[in-house]
Amino acid sequence: MATQTFKWHQLPWVLMLLWPVLVAAVLYLISFLLRQRDARRRAEELLRLGQVARLNTWVNWRLVWRTN
Is 0.75 topped by the overall pTM? Answer: no
Name 9's Cβ contacts closer than 8 Å, sequence gap at least 6.
Answer: none
Taking only the tens of pLDDT, the chain with its 68 residues reads 888 888 988 889 999 999 999 999 999 999 999 999 999 999 999 888 887 777 777 666 666 666 55
Question: Would you state the pLDDT for residue 14?
Answer: 93
Distance CA 56, CA 67 (A): 17
Distance CA 22, CA 54 (A): 48
Distance CA 50, CA 56 (A): 10
Q: What's the CA dihedral at 17, 18, 24, 26 to 10 degrees?
A: -160
Question: Would you state the pLDDT for residue 55?
Answer: 72
